[in-house]
A and B are shown apart, each in its own frame.
Chain A
Amino acid sequence: MSKSFRLEVITPERLFYSGQAELVIVKTDSGEEGYMADHTWAVKLLQPGQLRIQEEGADRKNMKYAAISEGYIVVEDSIMIFTDAAEWPEEIDLARAERAKMRAESMLQQIRPDDSEHAKLEVALHRAINRIRVKGGGNHLK
């Protein structure tokens, strides 16, 4: 068991997670990064993606999964993650995510890549795919 640290995940609407963790994995601009206790102090921007938490005493196969939107992580002696929105797998409405994915895909085909809407749609598509993936991963783990 490795050293644990305090982890809090906060959205404007709620305290999403709070507890002792050994490892947290988030998606930064350069890819997935894991943080453990005693990491150098850092502030990093996060991309919409999966959040994985290895809680104190849990082993690496039993990590908690969640889908989070963009945000930032503040690494000090404790770690705080601030994000616009976050969802546990059981909160994700799979049908809705699938519909959002289809909608984004069909819209993307209709407009030209240089359209100002294009980037927005791509983000929406990623978000939908991310949610579907987290939902699937969560089910798989159970």
Chain B
Amino acid sequence: MAAGNLRDIKRRIKSIDSTAHITNAMKLVSSAKLRRAKATYEKVDKYLYLIQQSIEDVFKKASDIPDEYTKVKAHVNRTCYIIITGNRGLCGGFNSSVIRRALYEMQKEAHEEDREDPVLVTIGLKGKEFFSKRGYDIESEYLSPPEDISFVGTQAGSKPIVDMYREDKIDKIVLIYNRYVDSFRQEVSVKTLLPFVYAQAESETKTERKYIEYEPSMEEVLNYLIPKYVEVMIYGAMIESATSEHAARRMAMENASESAKDMIAQLNLSFNQARQAAITNEISEVVRGSEALK
């Protein structure tokens, strides 16, 4: 009996140990990937910010803007949610918190009048699986692994979304993704991409210079910039989400390795106790046996 117990504990220690090896290896891989992703993110973030600034600037300095894009529609009938998750699990609450937030946002608006089913665009396998299993209508998806996102690659995905907006099939575009705060913290962020909200120039009296020449025309320039804005935002969010994913996975794996260590320590203790108990048992049996022979 005692020997069987010992063997059981031994087996558990072994299995936990091999799991710990795997989680530790995954942690190292994630740290390496995180380092690379972070470098990309930090670099790209700067330029994306410049582009966003410039787009806002063009809007501010334009004399009059067709309000097709900027006007908040009186009633929103149909919202498009762009949900960015990872392709793989084992990264703590990374995927589930985005999905939970998306569901919450959808439910919040769902009971309003004349509300039509939301249009979903999922980026990443996990979100796609979740929502398609539950019968949501997924308009389009994008599944390339987060390591090799290129701007040109994401463009193909974001163009149809803007087209739908322009054709009035959707009235609002909301982006939900994991924002990267630092290596230990990622936050779910919800951003409204369109209608385009920008900080209006503080006072009209300020003699800010306006653009004089547009080519081909102001409408065309703005019509070009708005989809660009959406593309840039989606691209930036994907890069950021990929960085968050690696950070989240690294954390999850670190925690798993820690827990494994704790469990092994605990099991070692029980193992030693059981072994000691078995030895004590044997000794007392021997002693009792020799007592009986006297």
Cα–Cα distance between A84 and B44 once the two chains are bound (Å): 13
- Residues from chain B with Cβ under 8 Å of A14 in the complex: 43-44, 47
Within 8 Å by CB of B221, from A30, A41, A45, A85, lies A45
Q: Could you tell me which A residues sit within 8 Å of B by CB distance?
A: 10-15, 28-30, 40-45, 69, 72, 74-76, 80, 82, 84-85
With beta carbons under 8 angstroms apart, the residue of B57, B209, B236 that contacts A74 is B57
* B212 adjacent to chain A (CB < 8 Å): yes
Residue B151 at the A interface, CB < 8 A?
A: yes
B221 lies within 8 A of A13 (CB): no
What's the nearest-Cβ distance from chain A to residue B266, in Å? Answer: 49
Most buried by B among A11, A28, A74, A75: A74
Which residues of chain A are near B46, meaning CB under 8 Å?
15
Contact of B213 (CB < 8 Å), options: A13, A29, A41, A80: A41
Q: List 30 A-B contacts (CB under 8 A).
A: A10-B47, A10-B50, A10-B51, A11-B151, A12-B44, A12-B47, A12-B48, A12-B51, A13-B47, A13-B151, A15-B46, A28-B215, A40-B212, A40-B213, A41-B61, A41-B211, A41-B212, A42-B211, A43-B211, A43-B215, A43-B221, A44-B215, A45-B216, A45-B224, A72-B224, A72-B225, A74-B54, A76-B209, A82-B228, A84-B151
In the complex, what distance in Å separates the CA atom of A16 from the CA atom of B85?
Answer: 30
8 closest A-B pairs by beta carbon, nearest first, are A42-B213, A44-B215, A12-B151, A41-B211, A40-B212, A29-B216, A43-B211, A43-B221
Distance A76 CA – B57 CA, assembled complex (angstroms)? 11
B165: Cβ under 8 A from any A Cβ: no
A76 — which chain B residues lie within 8 A by C-beta?
209
A30 vs B213: C-alpha distance when bound (angstroms): 13
Within residues 208 to 251 of chain B, which ones have a CB less than 8 A from any CB in chain A?
Answer: 209-216, 218, 220-221, 224-225, 228, 232, 235-236
Q: Which residues from chain A contact B1 at a C-beta distance below 8 Å?
A: none
Contact, CB under 8 Å: A74 / B58: yes
Does B152 interact with chain A (Cβ within 8 Å)?
Answer: yes
- In the complex, chain B residues whose CB is within 8 Å of the CB of A41: 61, 209-213
Which residues of B (73-130) have their CB < 8 Å from a CB of A?
Answer: none
Give the interface of B toward A (CB within 8 A): 43-44, 46-48, 50-51, 54, 57-58, 61, 150-152, 155, 209-216, 218, 220-221, 224-225, 228, 232, 235-236
Q: Whose C-beta in chain B lies nearest to the C-beta of A39?
A: B213
Cβ–Cβ contact A82 & B214, under 8 A: no
* Inter-chain pairs besides A10-B50, A12-B44, A41-B212, 20 sampled, C-beta below 8 Å: A12-B47, A12-B48, A12-B151, A12-B236, A13-B43, A13-B150, A14-B43, A14-B47, A30-B215, A40-B212, A40-B213, A41-B209, A41-B213, A42-B215, A45-B220, A72-B225, A72-B228, A80-B54, A82-B228, A84-B152
Chain B neighbourhood of A12, CB < 8 A: 44, 47-48, 51, 151, 232, 235-236
On chain B, the residues within 8 Å of A11 by CB distance are: 47, 151
Residues on the B chain within 8 Å of A75, using CB = 213
- B220: chain A residues at CB < 8 Å are 45
- Give the Cβ gap from B159 to chain A, nearest Cβ, in Å: 11
Nearest CB in chain A to that of B57: its residue: A74
In the complex formed, the residue of B with least CB distance to A69 is B152
**Chain A hits for B215, CB < 8 A:** 28-30, 42-45
Q: Which residues of B contact A44 (CB under 8 A)?
A: 213-215, 221
Give Cα A12–Cα B52 distance, bound, in whole angstroms. 10
Contact call A43/B58, Cβ cutoff below 8 A:
yes
**Chain B proximity of A92: nearest CB distance (Å):** 15
A42 to chain B: closest residue by CB: B213
**Closest CB of chain B to A31's CB: distance in Å?**
11
